Amino acid sequence: MKKIIVLGLLLMPVLALAQEAKPAANDPAERNKMLYSLGFLLGDNLKKQLILDNEDDYKAVSQGMRDSLLNKAAQTDVESYKPQIIQKYQDDARLISEKREAAQKEYVENFKKEKGVKELDNGALMKLSKPGKGKAPKADGSATVHYTGTLIDGTQFDSSRERGQAFTTRLTDVIPCWTKALQQMKPGSRAKVVCPADTAYGNRPVGPIPPNSVLVFDIEVIEVK
């Protein structure tokens, strides 16, 4: 069971792509590129869950995966190492979480120091790049916007601009960060909005957004209703 759980964690982002999957190409070269990409995705996810410190670590993990995929006999008593594997996942998850939390705190503190940044009463931060004209929406009003949302490292998780369709919403139906920020924005205005986790999704994972994530939005208000 533990082996299945660990494997499931490793494969989750790959399985999430299944809905977008395209038929496999018959061209051997294209198949090779697809399999390489699969390996890259598995490796990318693995490094998000485990701390591998050096080339020897990479070689050991790679050799173990290779032997398993080729149905070769294991070079160790795998069962006896399962408790250490589980412990490593737990220890590394804690360290990765602490490092990520420190990076997010640093990002927020640095953004606060930028000229023109305004801290809202719920802790959200915003910096207008275009002021706009007219009236800003009220707390129970609606707005039509274009936006792009990223994590602090620039990883994009959503964009109305890429979809080519503006987003219309009531301010009561969005995350608290947006509810407060949009009340500061007039039609035509554009702002960078930084949302601490407790003004966004808190400790809930949402799609590609990990729990306890600081979110960064580039928001442009098109219309206020």
Q: Which residues form the catalytic set?
A: 147, 157-158, 175, 201, 217
Burial (CB count within 10 angstroms: exposed 0-12, middle 13-18, buried 19+), residue 174: middle
| Inter-CA distances, 20 with 27, 72, 161, Å | 20, 33, 20
Short-list 81, 80, 92, 21, CA closest to 50: 92
Structure tokens, 147:
């936006």
Short-list 116, 141, 140, CA closest to 130: 116
Q: Phi and psi for 8 in degrees, rounded to 5? A: -60, -40
Alpha-carbon distance of 20 to 18, in angstroms, equals: 5
Structure tokens, 85:
């594997």
| Inter-CA distances, 177 with 70, 71, 214, Å | 50, 51, 11
